[in-house]
Amino acid sequence: MANRYFDPATQARMGKLELVARQVVEGFLSGRHRSPYQGFSAEYLDHRAYTPGDEITSIDWKVLARTDKYYVKLFEDETNLRATLLLDCSKSMAFQSGELSKLEFGCYLAAALTSLLLRQNDSVGLVTFDTGIRQYLPPQAHPSQFRRVLEALDGTASEGDTDVGKTLHEVAERIRRRGMVIILSDLLDDPEHIAAGLQHFRHNRHEVLVFHILDEAELTFPYQRLTRFQDLEGTGRVVVNPQSLRQQYLDRMQRFIETIQASCFEKKISYHLARTSQPPAAVLAEFLDRRARLG
């Protein structure tokens, strides 16, 4: 078992993960901690957006006057964050209509985010889950953490049913120290349970990012002929004429996405729909560009 990660096939898979990750982060080395307001004061290292519960005395009033936005000052011991990636490995993540399954897509995003954060000297950890936590790598800032994350990602498989809400609560109880939580999942679960889990993180004052990973076929329902559909997380199978239910399906999918989006917006959570038809690098670049524009 110890040699598992050193056989040529495994090294090739991990090498691809590493290559994609490094390509994605190239050009974003300025990092999220480098303040767009450098030079306003030499007394503190950085700023971040104000969130309810922060001390009023930590607000940078000069930045408020210049930008009409609330930012708090970060001192040296606050600038390096602790990020935890949550990767959904349930059976539904095995769905694939294009080059990558949702799980493979999530692995590439997780590897790229790990590389990006470590290059900023942040601590990064990983949680893989289905109905509960499968494995947990505590956040570390050491460069060797990248290899540990890649090994964990290479060992993932789409197994088990989904219980996103329950897992979010479990992880929120485990990571009490304030930091960043990045969720990579198709979120195919009860939206109310998901919303409650997300609120648990916000209650603990974590910054939360959601990458909602969906396959292009799930979004467009392109099927034309009589098709057999199977529940990946159950035993149900049904043969139907797709054209007879296409609009109903698309309407329900749109409502589902809008419900998740609204829940994230209400909780001040960053939401991004990640379509597997796009290259992972493009999805992450788009997300980082949008965050940079929003400040």
Check residue 53 and give its pLDDT.
64
Check residue 287 and give its pLDDT.
83
Q: Give the residue with greater pLDDT, 294 vs 95.
A: 95
Q: By the 8 A CB rule, do 87 and 104 touch?
A: no
pTM of the predicted protein model? 0.75
Map out the domains of the chain with their CATH numbers. 16-23+81-294 (3.40.50.410), 34-79 (no CATH)
Q: Give the residue with greater pLDDT, 43 vs 280.
A: 280
Mean pLDDT of 262-272: 94
Locus of tokens 């939401």: 271
Interatomic CA distance for residues 115 and 145, integer angstroms: 9
Check residue 189 and give its pLDDT.
92
Check residue 27 and give its pLDDT.
43
- Confidence grade of residue 47 (pLDDT, cut at 50, 70, 90): low
**β-pairing verdict for 46-49 and 71-74:** antiparallel
For the CA atoms of 111, 116, 121, 124, the dihedral, rounded to the nearest 10 degrees, stands at -30
3-state SS class at 213:
strand
First to last CA, the chain: 46
Q: Where are the beta strands (DSSP E) in 172-263?
A: 180-185, 207-214, 227-230, 237-240
